[in-house]
Homo-oligomer: A and B are copies of this chain.
Amino acid sequence: MDYYKKPYEKSAFEAKADAQRIAFAPVVFQVVKTMRDTGILDYLRKQKQDGATVAQISDATGISRYGVNVLLDAGLSADIVWQQEAHYSLTMLGHCMLSDKMTRVNMDFVHDVCYEAMFHLEEAIREEKPAGLKVFGDWKTVYEGLSSLPKQAQESWFAFDHFYSDRAFPKALPIVFKNAPKSLFDVGGNTGRWTKQCLNYNEDVHVTILDLPGQLAMAREQLEEAGFGDRASYHPIDLLDPSQTFPSNPDAIWMSQFLDCFGENEIISILKQAALVMTSDTDLFIMETFWDRQPQEAGAFSLNQISLYFTCVANGNSRMYHSGDMIRLVHRAGLVVEEEFDKLGIGHTILRCRKR
């Protein structure tokens, strides 16, 4: 990836215009979300190229003409709609804000989980703690509070998490099962979503989920309901406590969208715990979205912004990593990267690691 290695060619004049895009960015965000959620974008989509007048949109959506008008004018300036005489039509970007699933998932996550919290970003950065989390409750990390978050925030959090993993899991399965592991550890297995796919994909594998007791209870319920009771085990562990140990004899260890939840020293500690139970034949698979491995710049952009969610809301010391940083941490834990698989799902990478 060769982005960001030279400055964009931009005149002072263009910079001043772009600067206003940033200065008013929160307003644009709320304008577009409101146009989406009041049904204005959907009504305009149905009118196709003919478009609609303020009065028509107001009648169709029940939003006052004044309200429709201020949103449309802001939408003109944000390239969401365009105007032919009194008729407004959706632009390509407007269509995307309405219909693209990834965009919707991102926007909902930012609104419901991050927006109010981000007001406290400077404090989070200065004090090295997730200062934005206080808008939801008095927890040290979001993980403690996840089950107590407001319903809307919780839904958007899981929708975001699952949207990305759901698209990567099918590509990951053949990679993980290439060496036919009989015993697989799903570290940070959460609701058991990945374990279930493994048990479906391969009849011979037994999966052990390593996670906090609360998450394990959720996972067990899901898996027993699906009839996988006898092929899964549950190992309660606080992965931040280096004195707690992994069970022994895994053929493979899986960590998906997991290490990004930790700071660098914590990652080294977790990987060292894993290394203790690995033999020279054990595969450790790390699946992550690394910002430098994105096929498009928009992917790098999104990941670099999501990092601030970890800073300000989640736990104050984790992030979406550069692959070079993660590989450095792998080495410091006494492991080596044997194989790398890029462009799985929406910009995921798998690092297959072994003991040095």
A residues at B contact (CB < 8 Å): 3-8, 10-12, 14-34, 37-38, 63-64, 66-67, 69-71, 73-74, 76-79, 82-84, 89, 91-93, 95-97, 100, 102-103, 106-107, 110-111, 114-116, 118-119, 121-122, 125-126, 128, 263-264, 291, 296-298, 300-302, 304-312, 317, 319, 322
Contact = CB atoms under 8 A, between A and B. Distances in A.
A263 B10 CA distance: 39
Contacts of A82: 4-8
A30 B119 contact: yes
Contact of A23 (B20, B107, B308): B107
A31 B128 CA distance: 15
A33 B122 contact: yes
A246 to B, nearest CB: 27
Nearest to A300: B77
Contacts of A5: 82-84
A89 B97 CA distance: 33
Q: Is the interface of A mostly helix, strand, loop or mixed?
A: helix
B92 A7 contact: yes
A308 B305 CA distance: 25
A93 to B, nearest CB: 5
Contact of A307 (B64, B74, B116, B121): B74
